[in-house]
Structure formats: structure tokens, C-alpha cells
Amino acid sequence: MNVTIIGTGYVGLVTGACLADLGNNVFCLDLDEKKIAMLNRGEVPIYEPGLGELIERNVEAGRLTFSTDVEASVAHAAIQFVAVGTPPDEDGSADLKYVLAAARNIAKHTNQFTVVVDKSTVPVGTAEKVAAVLQGELAERFPDALQRPGFTVISNPEFLKEGAAVEDFTRPDRIILGADSDPMGEKGLALLRQLYVPFNRNHERTRVMDVRSAEFTKYAANAMLATRISFMNELASLAELVGADIELVRQGIGSDPRIGYSFLYAGTGYGGSCFPKDVKALIRTGEEHGRKLKILQAVEDVNADQKTSLVKKVFARYGRDLTGRTFGLWGLAFKPNTDDMRDAPSRMIIKELLLAGARILAHDPIAGSEALRVLRYDLNEWAHLLENFSLVAKPVDALSAVDGLLIATEWKVYRSPNWNAVKNAMKHPIIFDGRNLYDPETMRAEAFDYFAVGRRTAMSQA
């Protein structure tokens, strides 16, 4: 089938490459000329395991095209996926300007029946706004209603996780399709069912519902997952006070199938491009309808506290003036296997340490240059403090004569270090672990002072 994807970011690029790999003929449109030029040179603008090979294979086969040409891209297909960003507006609501601009472009150039597929995460009611834009533009272009191409808007939210995006897209837990129950909605639904058959042969993973419920399902999923994380982070702070170990508690409750093991890891707070913005947007939707979402507000508040919890442990140990001190930092990306720095907890950690006068030696396998880019923006008038921030090539290089090591991202490479090498490199063998990577007893035996999240602190002299 012919398919166009509007927006060639994490979601659009993965969707386009995976659909092309099934034999579809895919156009990926983006207005960012630099991004499209990179893709056309064979470079992949994001780090996502498996994506590079997929793109290369399908470009070579002539099934995947990258373009900034709106007219040609819209003309290419009856199925137009919208996968543009929906960043938070100033009040926390999802900013729909890119989604509505994409809708306008479709309406300006389509000459055939069109299925507009909302893949971006958008608040309930957005499909109706998209339909209104299409209706308005098409009525202008085709004053005679009989000549006017028909269209339908389908909500098909995406649930992929960064770092596992190709796997998640090709083996989905569910495919949500929210469609109108009129003839055009039915026609659009039939096309999408056909497109998704290879991922779910008997449609057993497809959930068809009304458009508003589909839009809501996406926010409900992310809000539930964020709630589990904040719940565990809150219990972790209590565990530290009462002398319990949140890791053992996690295993103890996860074995109950009603609870399950996933998304129960305490840490430095959730980050990334989705949970923080989607929780905010759902709270805002509640406010717009006169409903205060008390649980989600607490989820957000706990997360904001959690993001500063690791640095608070450093302050408790060394005081608030860190002038003359140097810290190692392992991990910058908001999670492993991505270079994405959006809302990464490391950003807050770095800012607080630099403002307190510290120097930082930081390591990340992938996200270093992206981190430098966003830190310049975060530090703003204090950008000169970046003189005290150095990126290093190897994890051990971040330990040289440091007063402590902080861990912000659980990259595999940090899991089993050579403890002697670590100790020998550091000035003070102290670890502030925001990801609970090590066993506190082992750390005590290795003569480290070890501060983890929701676990008993291991003191080398204790």
C-alpha cells in the first residue's frame, strides 16, 4: 500500500521504516530540511537500535523515500499518518499547532479520499479539530461538494518505547483504532486493518473503538505507568526512613500477578518526551472540564521531588557549597539505548551540581553531544559554568580523582565495573546511585560508601 508519514521523528521514522519493511511504499515528510538531508545521505538522526539497518534496506529497495516536498508527499497516498510533535504549551496542555498545520497541508494538496491517522499523542477531541481544519480547507478548494474528496480521521496512538522502538512497533501489545461509525470511518478502518495485518494476522491485537476513547487510552496508559513509578519512588523515600529495602519490596509485590513486575523501579524520577508532558496534559484536560485530577497531581509532585533526590544526598554529605569538588557522572540520556535528553533527570543533577560550584566528569555511550546542546539551553545565563563540565570517552575516565560518582542512567556498561579500578581512580570512594545498580552489601564489602534509592545506605566503615 502507499503510505505517507508526516513528521520524521522517533515515531514517524520508526513507523515509516517498519511499514516499508513489510513491502509498503512509504513517503516520510518532514519540514526540517537538515533532518531530511541527513536521511538522504544515509545518516540516521536519532539513536535507536536496529533502525539504521531497517532504513538502509528499505531505501535501497526503493520503498522508503524522505522528502520535504509537501505536495508530492500528500499526493503519494490515501493514508496520511500524522506523527508530529505535541509539546507542552505554557499551561501544560498539548500544543496542537504542528498537528493542525499537518492537517492543513493534507487538505491543501489531497485530491483523493484520504484517511488521516493521528499517531501523535493528542488530547480527547483533537480528531474533531483536525476534521474541522480539513473540512474548511477542502470546502474552499472544492466549492462544489460533489467534487470534494472525502476524508476520515482515525486515532491510532503509538505505544512504542524509545530504545526498543522497532521491536515494540513490530510486536505491538495492542493496536488501538478509534474511528467514526459512518461509511467513511468504516472505509478508513478497513484500510488500516489491512495495513496492520502483518503485525496481527487475525486482528487479535486490534481494539476498535470510538475516536475519543482511543485518544483517551493513550493518556490513560502513560498516566498509569507514571503513577506506578511515582508510587514506588514515594515508598522508596519512606523505605530509607524505616530501614527497608525497596528492591526487596518490589520483588515481593511484583510476584502478585495483579501487580506484576514492570514499571516498579524506583530511581531518579521518570523523564523522557512522554510521561512528563502527557501527565501534565491530562491534568490540564481535567482542569478544562472542572475536574482536578488529584492522583496525577501527586504523581507529578512526587516526580519533581525525586529528580532532586540524588543531589540532596550529595549536599547532605558535602554541604551545599561544592566549590573545589569534582564528581563523576555515569549516564546522561533519560534511559539506556537512546540519545534522547528530553526531560532527562541528569539535566537537573548537572545544573544543581554546577550551580553549587562543582566540576563534573560525565560519561554516556551515546548522548554526549545532545547533552551539551540541551545543557547550554538549561544553564542559560550560567552557560559559562559548562567550563566545569567535561565529557569523557570511557566510564573509568569519569572517576579520575573525583569526590564521588553519581549514576543517572542504567546503561549496561555500568553494571559490572572493576571495583578495584574504580576505587583506585576516585579520591573518595563514594557512590550516589540513582538506578540501584549494585547490591549494598557488596558495596560495603568493596569499601564504598553507597547511597542508593530506597535502600539502606552502605558505609564502608560501618
Ligand X SMILES: O=c1ccn([C@@H]2O[C@H](COP(=O)(O)OP(=O)(O)O[C@H]3O[C@H](CO)[C@@H](O)[C@H](O)[C@H]3O)[C@@H](O)[C@H]2O)c(=O)[nH]1
Ligand Y SMILES: NC(=O)c1ccc[n+]([C@@H]2O[C@H](COP(=O)([O-])OP(=O)(O)OC[C@H]3O[C@@H](n4cnc5c(N)ncnc54)[C@H](O)[C@@H]3O)[C@@H](O)[C@H]2O)c1
* Region near ligand X per CB under 6 A, out of 64-72, 144-152, 267-275, 292-300: 267-275
Work out which of 79, 154, 274, 379 binds ligand X, going by CB under 6 A.
274
Considering the complex, state which of residue 11 and residue 322 has its C-beta at the smaller distance from ligand X.
Answer: 11
Nearer to ligand Y, 330 or 334 (CB): 334
Our finding on whether 404 is near ligand X (CB under 6 A) is no
Binding of residue 276 to ligand X (CB under 6 A): no
Residue nearest to ligand X (CB): 274
Partner residues linked to 360 by β-bridges: 327, 389
The CB-of-316 to ligand X minimum distance in angstroms stands at 22
Considering the complex, what minimum distance in angstroms separates the CB of residue 340 from ligand X? 8
Distance separating alpha carbons of residues 290 and 336, to the nearest angstrom: 38
Site for ligand Y contains 102 (CB under 6 A): yes
7 is a contact residue toward ligand Y (CB under 6 A): yes
Closest CA to 14 of 51, 42, 40: 51
Nearest to 451 by CA among 361, 316, 332: 316
Q: Which is nearer to ligand Y, 163 or 454 (CB)?
A: 163
Axis crossing angle, helix 368-379 with helix 345-355, rounded to the nearest 10: 60
264 binds, among ligand X, ligand Y, none (CB under 5 to 8 A by kind): ligand X
Taking CA atoms, 302 is separated from 17, 120, 225, in Å, by 37, 27, 14
Integer angstrom CA distances of residue 337 from 14, 173, 411:
15, 21, 7
330 in contact with ligand X (CB under 6 A): no
Cα separation, 166 vs 185, in Å, equals 28
**How many Å apart are CA 322 and CA 344, to the nearest integer?**
22
Contact 83, 11 (CB under 8 A): yes
What is the rounded distance in angstroms from the CA atom of residue 52 to the CA atom of residue 119?
22
Q: Is 318 in the site for ligand X (CB under 6 A)?
A: no
**DSSP reduced 3-state for 44:** coil
Residues 45-104 that bind ligand X (CB under 6 A): none
> How many of the other CB atoms lie within 10 Å of CB of 62?
9
The single residue among 51, 84, 353, 399 that binds ligand Y, judged by CB under 6 A, is 84
Q: Rounded to an integer, what distance in angstroms lies between the CA atom of residue 316 and that of residue 242?
A: 18
Stretch that binds ligand X, among 157-165, 202-210, 392-400, 417-425 (CB under 6 A): 157-165
**CA max distance for the chain:** 84
Give φ, ψ of 5 to 5 degrees: -115, 125
Q: How far is the CB of 277 from ligand X (least distance, A)?
A: 9
From the list 26-34, 47-55, 191-199, 447-455, the region that binds ligand Y by CB under 6 A is 26-34
User: Which residue, 105 or 152, is less far from ligand Y as judged by CB?
Assistant: 105
Residues 205-234 that bind ligand Y (CB under 6 A): none
Task: Give me the torsion for CA of 15, 17, 22, 24, rounded to 10°.
Answer: 90
Report, in Å, the least distance between residue 284 CB and ligand Y.
14
Q: Cα angle vertex 325, ends 323, 328, to 5°?
A: 135
Size of the site for ligand Y (CB under 6 A): 26
Measure the CA–CA gap between 52 and 55, rounded to whole angstroms. Answer: 5
DSSP state of 112: S
- CB-CB contact of 160 with 168 (8 Å): yes
Contact string (CB under 6 A) for ligand Y, positions 148-187, x = contact: ----------x-x-x-------------------------
What are residue 318's DSSP bridge partners? none
Q: Which is nearer to ligand X, 16 or 429 (CB)?
A: 16
By rule CB under 6 A, what count of residues binds ligand X? 20
Nearer to ligand X, 169 or 327 (CB): 169
Binding partner selected for residue 229 from ligand Y, ligand X, none, CB under the kind-specific 5 to 8 Å limit: ligand X
Nearer to ligand X, 161 or 187 (CB): 161
Enumerate the H helices of 197-264 as residue ranges.
211-242, 246-254
Q: Does 21 bind ligand X (CB under 6 A)?
A: no
- Please state the separation of Cα 22 from the chain's center in Å: 25
Does residue 271 bind ligand X (CB under 6 A)? yes
Distance CA 354, CA 9 (A): 31
Question: Is residue 234 involved in binding ligand X (CB under 6 A)?
Answer: no
Which residue in the list 39, 274, 299, 443 is annotated as catalytic?
A: 274
- The reply on whether position 267 binds ligand X by CB under 6 A is yes
Active-site annotation holds for 18: no
Instruction: Using CB under 6 A, list all residues that contact ligand Y.
Output: 6-12, 29-32, 35, 83-86, 98, 101-102, 120-121, 158, 160, 162, 273-274
Residues noted as catalytic: 274
Instruction: Using CB under 6 A, list all residues that contact ligand X.
Output: 121, 158-162, 222, 225, 229, 263-265, 267, 270-272, 274-275, 334-335
